[in-house]
Amino acid sequence: MKQQRLFEPDPPPWELVDRDDLACAQFVFNRPLETPFDYLVPDEFRGRLKPGMRVAVPFGRGDRSITGFCVGLARPTAHASLKSITGLIDQAPILTPAMLELTRWIADRYLCGWGQVLEAVVPAGVKNQAGTRQQLLVRINDEAWPGSPPVELPEKQAAAMAALQTAGRPMGLEQLARLAHCGTGPINALRQRNLLISFTERTDAGDPEHVDIERTNDLELSVDQQHVLNEILSALRGRRFEPFLLHGVTGSGKTEVYIRAIREVVGYGRQAIVLVPEISLTPQTIRRFRSRFDSVAVLHSHQTDSERHRHWQQIATGKVQVVVGARSAVFAPTPQLGLIVIDEEHENSFKQDTIPRYHAREVALERARREGVPLILGSATPTLEAWQRAQAGELKLLQLNRRVAGLPMPPVVLVDTREDPTLKTGGAIGRALRTAMQQALAAKGQVILFLNLRGYSPVLWCQACGGAVKCPNCDVSLTWHKEHNLARCHSCDYSCVPPKFCPTCQKPGVRYLGTGTQKLEVEVRAKFPGVSCVRMDSDSMRRPGSHDVALEGFRKGETRILLGTQMISKGLDFPNVTLVGVVDADTVLHQPDLRAGERTFQLIAQVAGRTGRSDRGGRVLVQTACPQEVPIQFAARHDFIGFVQRELAQRRQMGYPPYESLVRIILRGPSEAEVAATAQDLGQLLRTQIDSNQLPARVLGPAPCPVSRLKNLFRYHMQLAAPQLATLQILWRQHGAKYKLPANVELAVDVDPINLR
């Protein structure tokens, strides 16, 4: 080929790399870099290299070999002396062209490197091909064995040939040996006689596991449900992108609507993705889908690499009808996507808190748009972001304002804890709550108690100096865990024996304050002796399967009182729960966070939703020291719309999301002075750029983070705010991202931050 060129006129320089076969390709790396890099592709790799494959390339000073993702095959953008790739890591693309495009969009939106996104979205098990192995297979050599033996074979060899002939397909060596009741010796002898041909193959993913779950029929939809479903069906049948916000009160039958929409999608031979919060990914939820569809794959973070890999491959073959999973399932490689559902859209766990810090809702919107399919965001308490978009017409609002079967919403009673004598003496269950529990239990009902503080006592407090005992590595109070008598930090893995003397003033008299779920459990057992009670929180539910055991016990009625953290606030559907007690509604309310009110409303509304799910009725008791606070008042009246209208007006006035976009910049390092000075310097630089370019943007801060020290690093942050996110993206890319950080200071960029700690 090169010789032919000698007889051709001089080509323009780019033709050297863009003729016949491709000779140049673009790569991105797991680094915060913005643009892809060009590399030459040596002859040996031409034709084999495709976008979506990983390769080894020399990179940086010293040409260290690193992994790059191939994102394009095109002529180089510059003619500088290009390096060559040195090897292919994958034999076939592990990412589709559509996924490459989507991940590039994520990198742009969330201000991180494209390669960082790719590194994060492909599960480790897929990257290292966990669980697959080369298998040696044998098949009959049809030329040497035209159906009958050319020679008389020894008994065992004949048996092996017969078994293989009956099977009618290639078989693994050991499998054949088992079938023919022989060892591998006779089979190897047949290979030597050339009667069998052997070859290797990767074992494939196999079929989606068939789980034996009793199938249940579709329910007859209520008029409201049918109306909502019709809107969704119309988008499905029109094969168009259309995003819906399904606002349905707890128990209004949202899941039933999802299932019917998915049924339509499956009817087209397409696949649906259902995202649920990680803690809702319970066996109960999964069973609900498995009882309705033949082939359901589950993706969650507790799977082994090889399990994830197997599911990923099965999904990619199109054999899976429904993918149910947490946040990252939004990347499931469905070949013909038909619908995406995000249940409990308001859940914070849909936002990833490491790079890439994406929100599954935004990614799902973008993916649905690109693939031309509908998206359903469902919640009883949608985020203000979603609600405001529905008001603006960007999402189509669908509503289910009533519970199924005409069940009323449970009445909510607010109990002012400031006036309760039992609470003054250190208890957490006040008089009214205790009476309500007694009544519910006496009437053979079940009780759910919600408290979102785990541990025994959330605060260790020094009587002498009045200070809290904090983690030596973090600016966080230690929590006493009585079981192992340890004071633990919930932000890092620090723990110690609770100090007898205050670490600050060295005086004795450290006391335990407040109630966590462990202490609540002790109090419940003391106040209700002989009544079975189970605690569900991340400490008690460590063992795999413990979730299922606990919930099954409650479903069967063996457990009468279920107490726990957020883990029990979502999705549970137990008709016999006649009382829900919110032990302390104020835990979230006073957090220094612009969403504290919104979260308080959500928490109360969601836990309240766990009762009144049958004609037995149910009620809710909320203990609070601030019964006049707006979110608590509105939640007690089940008035979501009243609450959001008020809250939105406030957000607009303050210039907070959803009216303005935020980008949070966090700096951290071992020296507080250096981190503070860097934050000041960067803040100043951004302010100057905003002024001189007259950008409609603001810098709030810098200031120490609410948690000013974490894992021994000091933390400062600032928020960039603007009516348009694009303004901030430009500001950051052109100026912030180019800022030279001191060696000891690290920086994180969080677009649309949810966690402001």
Binding site for Zn ion (CB under 5 A): 471, 473-474, 489, 491-492, 494
Least gap, CB of 42 to ligand ADP (angstroms)? 56
Q: Which is nearer to Zn ion, 76 or 455 (CB)?
A: 455
Per the CB < 8 A criterion, the answer to whether 303 and 277 are in contact is no
Residue-wise burial string across 23-32, b where 16 or more C-beta atoms lie within 10 A, e elsewhere? bbbbbbbbeb
Least gap, CB of 232 to ligand ADP (angstroms)? 15
Least gap, CB of 571 to ligand ADP (angstroms)? 7
Among Zn ion, ligand ADP, none, partner that 471 touches (CB below 5 to 8 angstroms by kind): Zn ion
Least gap, CB of 706 to ligand ADP (angstroms)? 33
Among ligand ADP, Zn ion, none, partner that 232 touches (CB below 5 to 8 angstroms by kind): none
Helix, coil or strand: residue 202: strand
Per the CB < 8 A criterion, the answer to whether 252 and 385 are in contact is no
Among ligand ADP, Zn ion, none, partner that 474 touches (CB below 5 to 8 angstroms by kind): Zn ion
Residues 632, 645: Cα–Cα separation, whole Å: 15
Q: Which is nearer to ligand ADP, 55 or 409 (CB)?
A: 409
Per the CB < 8 A criterion, the answer to whether 8 and 18 are in contact is no
Q: State both tokens at 202.
A: 């990767």
Least gap, CB of 691 to ligand ADP (angstroms)? 50
Q: Which is nearer to ligand ADP, 89 or 404 (CB)?
A: 404
Least gap, CB of 123 to ligand ADP (angstroms)? 28
Rounded to the nearest 5°, which phi and psi values hold at 740? -85, 115
Q: Which is nearer to ligand ADP, 255 or 452 (CB)?
A: 255
Task: Measure Cα distances from 402 to 224, 249, 614, 632, 732 in Å.
Answer: 8, 7, 14, 21, 46
Among ligand ADP, Zn ion, none, partner that 540 touches (CB below 5 to 8 angstroms by kind): none
Q: Which is nearer to ligand ADP, 403 or 454 (CB)?
A: 403
Rounding to the nearest 10 degrees, give the CA dihedral for residues 123, 128, 133, 139.
Answer: 80
Among ligand ADP, Zn ion, none, partner that 251 touches (CB below 5 to 8 angstroms by kind): ligand ADP
Least gap, CB of 750 to Zn ion (angstroms)? 21
Would you tell me the crossing angle of helices 97-109 and 725-734 to the nearest 10 degrees?
80
**143: number of Cβ within 10 Å:** 9
Among ligand ADP, Zn ion, none, partner that 489 touches (CB below 5 to 8 angstroms by kind): Zn ion
Residues of this chain that bind ligand ADP (CB under 6 A): 219-222, 225, 248, 250-256, 404-405, 573
Q: Which is nearer to ligand ADP, 408 or 508 (CB)?
A: 408
Among ligand ADP, Zn ion, none, partner that 494 touches (CB below 5 to 8 angstroms by kind): Zn ion
Q: Which is nearer to ligand ADP, 200 or 217 (CB)?
A: 217
Rounded to the nearest 5°, which phi and psi values hold at 417? -75, -15
Q: State both tokens at 353.
A: 């808190």
Least gap, CB of 331 to ligand ADP (angstroms)? 25
**400: number of Cβ within 10 Å:** 23
Q: Which is nearer to Zn ion, 161 or 510 (CB)?
A: 510
Complete DSSP assignment for 465-495? T-PBPB-SSSSSB-EEETTTTEEE-SSSS-E
Would you tell me the crossing angle of helices 223-237 and 254-267 to the nearest 10 degrees?
30
Least gap, CB of 259 to ligand ADP (angstroms)? 8
Least gap, CB of 569 to ligand ADP (angstroms)? 12
Task: Give 533: exposed, middle or buried? Use CB within 10 Å, 0-12, 13-18, 19+.
Answer: middle
Among ligand ADP, Zn ion, none, partner that 98 touches (CB below 5 to 8 angstroms by kind): none
Rounded to the nearest 5°, which phi and psi values hold at 22? -80, 150
Among Zn ion, ligand ADP, none, partner that 678 touches (CB below 5 to 8 angstroms by kind): none
Q: Which is nearer to Zn ion, 198 or 473 (CB)?
A: 473
Q: Which is nearer to ligand ADP, 24 or 228 (CB)?
A: 228
Among ligand ADP, Zn ion, none, partner that 491 touches (CB below 5 to 8 angstroms by kind): Zn ion
What does R_g of the chain's alpha carbons equal in angstroms? 31
